[in-house]
C-alpha cells in the first residue's frame, strides 16, 4: 500500500512573536459569535497530522491528550511532538488561546485538542497509521467523559483505500464530522477535477482555499465534492519553536472549518436543546456560508461566515414593517 502525505503547503514567513487575532479568524466572523458559542468550550477537536508542539505558549492549555501512531521517536506512542511544523500550525488555527501579551487566538480558543500524530517529520505516513489514528479518535474518552466532536485532517493521497473509507465512515456513524483538505493540485480551472483522499469522499466535509480578497486560490483542488471554502493563503498561526508562521494551502483552510464546527455545535445544540447528529451539524455549518460567485466545483456552498444568520435577522428587522390594517394589506394585494 502506498504512502499518504501532508497536503503540500508553503511556508511564507516565520515570526518570533505575534499579537493579534489572525485575519483568517476574523474573515470567517468567529469573534462575532464567541460569546454565544462560549468560544467552543466543552468540545474536543481531534487533529490527525504531524503532532503538535505541546508546550507552545498558545496551545499548552488546550491540549487534552494525544498519541503517536507514526514510526517517529522509535514508535513511542506517548510522544506526539511535532517534528514538522504543520500540525502545530493547524492546531493554532483551531484553538490557539494566548495567555500572554504576545500571542494569537484561534477560531475556537476554548476548545480542547486531541493530538493524533500519524505522519512523520517528512510529512509522510502509512495508510494504516491514519486508519489507526482515526479509530483512536473515535474511541477516545477523556478524564471527564469527553468525546471527540470533530476530526480535522489536512492530509491526502491519490488512492481510494477501502480501509481508509471504512474508518472515515465509522467516525460519521459515531456522529463525528470529518473535515478534510481538498488538496493543492489545482490548475486554476474549475472545469477540471483534482481528487485527494480522504477529502474526495462524499461523506466528509471537503474544504477548498481562498485568499483574503475572496478569490479561489489557484492551487485549490476543484471537484464535485467540494463543500465549502475558507481562508488558506498566508495564514498566520502557531509554529514549532514557540514561534508563529504564515503558511498557505488547503491544509490551512481546513482548520478554520474544524474550529468553526466547535462554535456551531455550541450555538446549535443550545438552540435545539439536544445533541445533534453529524448530518444536522453539517446542515448547521452550511447554513452559515455565503456564496462567492464561483463554480460549485470550486467553492461548494461558499465561504464560512459564522455570524451571517444574525446579520440576516438584523437586515430582515430593518426592512420588515408589519401591515397596520387589513385595508392596507388589501390595497397592496390589489395593486399587485
- Measure the CA angle with vertex 204, ends 56 and 25; round to 5°: 40
Give the pLDDT confidence score for residue 296 in this predicted structure. Answer: 97
Rounded to whole angstroms, how far apart are CA atoms 195 and 180?
A: 12
* Per-position pLDDT tens, the chain of length 336: 568 888 778 788 888 877 779 999 999 999 999 999 999 999 999 999 999 999 999 999 999 999 999 999 999 999 999 999 999 999 999 999 976 667 899 999 999 999 999 999 999 999 999 999 999 999 999 999 999 999 999 999 888 999 999 999 999 999 999 999 998 888 888 888 888 899 999 999 999 999 999 999 999 999 999 999 999 999 999 999 999 999 999 999 999 999 999 999 999 999 999 999 999 999 999 999 999 999 999 999 999 999 998 877 776 666 554 544 433 333 333 333
CB of 11 within 8 A of CB of 249? no
Q: Choose the catalytic residue: 58, 70, 82, 86.
A: 86
Q: Choose the catalytic residue: 97, 251, 258, 297.
A: 251
Question: Phi and psi for 308 in degrees, rounded to 5?
Answer: -65, -30
Alpha-carbon distances of 105 from 61, 209, 224, 244, 321, rounded to whole Å: 12, 20, 33, 12, 40
Rounded to whole angstroms, how far apart are CA atoms 246 and 235?
A: 5
Give the pLDDT confidence score for residue 97 in this predicted structure. Answer: 93
Q: Choose the catalytic residue: 18, 49, 72, 227.
A: 49
Question: Phi and psi for 261 in degrees, rounded to 5?
Answer: -60, -35
Give the pLDDT confidence score for residue 63 in this predicted structure. Answer: 98
- Burial-class residue 332 by CB neighbours within 10 Å (0-12, 13-18, 19+): exposed
Give the pLDDT confidence score for residue 334 in this predicted structure. Answer: 31
Whole-model pTM: value is 0.91
Question: Is 65 an annotated catalytic residue?
Answer: no
The terminus-to-terminus CA distance of the chain in angstroms comes to: 67
Question: Phi and psi for 238 in degrees, rounded to 5?
Answer: -70, 155
Question: Is 2 an annotated catalytic residue?
Answer: no
HSE (side-chain half, CA atoms, 13 Å) at 62: 36
Give the pLDDT confidence score for residue 192 in this predicted structure. Answer: 84
Give the pLDDT confidence score for residue 4 in this predicted structure. Answer: 85
Q: All domains of the chain, ordered by start, with CATH?
A: 3-309 (3.40.50.200)
Question: Is 297 an annotated catalytic residue?
Answer: no
Give the pLDDT confidence score for residue 327 in this predicted structure. Answer: 38
Contacts of 311 (CB under 8 A, 6+ apart): none
Q: Where are the alpha helices (DSSP H) in 191-293?
A: 250-272, 278-287
Alpha-carbon distances of 325 from 21, 328, 331, 334, rounded to whole Å: 50, 5, 10, 15
Contacts of 236 (CB under 8 A, 6+ apart): 15, 18, 20, 22, 23, 24, 104, 244, 245, 246
Give the pLDDT confidence score for residue 320 in this predicted structure. Answer: 52
Sheet order of strands, 124-126 included:
124-126, 3-6, 155-156
Amino acid at each position: 500500500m502506498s504512502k499518504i502525505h501532508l497536503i503540500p503547503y508553503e511556508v511564507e514567513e516565520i515570526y518570533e512573536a505575534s499579537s493579534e487575532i489572525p485575519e483568517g479568524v476574523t474573515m470567517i466572523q468567529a469573534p462575532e459569535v464567541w460569546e454565544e458559542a462560549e468560544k467552543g468550550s466543552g468540545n474536543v477537536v481531534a487533529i490527525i497530522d504531524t503532532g503538535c508542539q505541546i508546550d507552545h505558549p498558545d496551545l499548552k492549555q488546550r491540549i487534552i491528550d494525544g498519541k503517536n501512531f507514526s514510526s517517529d521517536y522509535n514508535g513511542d506512542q506517548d510522544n506526539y511532538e511535532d517534528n514538522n511544523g504543520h500540525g502545530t500550525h493547524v492546531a493554532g488555527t483551531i484553538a490557539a488561546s494566548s495567555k500572554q501579551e504576545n500571542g494569537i487566538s484561534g477560531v475556537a480558543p476554548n476548545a480542547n485538542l486531541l493530538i493524533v500524530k500519524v505522519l512523520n517529520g517528512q510529512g509522510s505516513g502509512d495508510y494504516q497509521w491514519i486508519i489507526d489514528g482515526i479509530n483512536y479518535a473515535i474511541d477516545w474518552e477523556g478524564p471527564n467523559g469527553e468525546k471527540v466532536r470533530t476530526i480535522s485532517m489536512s492530509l491526502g493521497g491519490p488512492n481510494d483505500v477501502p480501509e481508509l473509507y471504512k474508518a472515515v465512515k465509522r467516525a460519521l456513524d459515531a456522529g463525528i464530522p470529518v473535515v478534510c483538505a481538498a488538496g493543492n493540485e489545482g490548475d486554476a480551472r474549475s472545469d477540471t477535477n483534482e481528487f485527494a483522499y480522504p477529502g474526495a469522499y462524499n461523506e466528509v466535509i471537503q474544504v477548498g482555499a481562498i485568499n483574503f480578497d475572496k478569490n479561489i486560490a489557484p492551487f485549490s483542488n476543484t471537484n464535485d465534492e467540494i463543500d465549502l471554502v475558507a481562508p488558506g493563503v498566508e495564514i498566520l498561526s502557531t509554529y514549532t519553536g514557540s514561534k508563529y508562521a504564515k503558511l498557505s494551502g488547503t491544509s490551512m483552510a481546513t482548520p478554520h472549518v474544524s474550529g468553526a464546527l466547535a462554535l456551531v455545535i455550541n450555538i446549535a445544540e443550545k438552540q435545539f436543546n439536544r445533541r445533534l447528529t453529524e448530518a444536522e451539524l453539517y446542515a448547521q455549518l452550511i447554513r452559515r456560508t455565503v456564496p462567492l460567485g464561483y463554480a460549485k466545483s470550486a467553492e461548494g456552498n461558499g465561504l464560512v461566515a459564522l455570524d451571517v444568520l444574525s446579520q440576516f435577522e438584523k437586515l430582515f428587522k430593518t426592512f420588515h414593517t408589519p401591515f397596520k390594517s387589513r385595508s392596507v394589506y388589501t390595497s397592496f394585494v390589489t395593486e399587485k
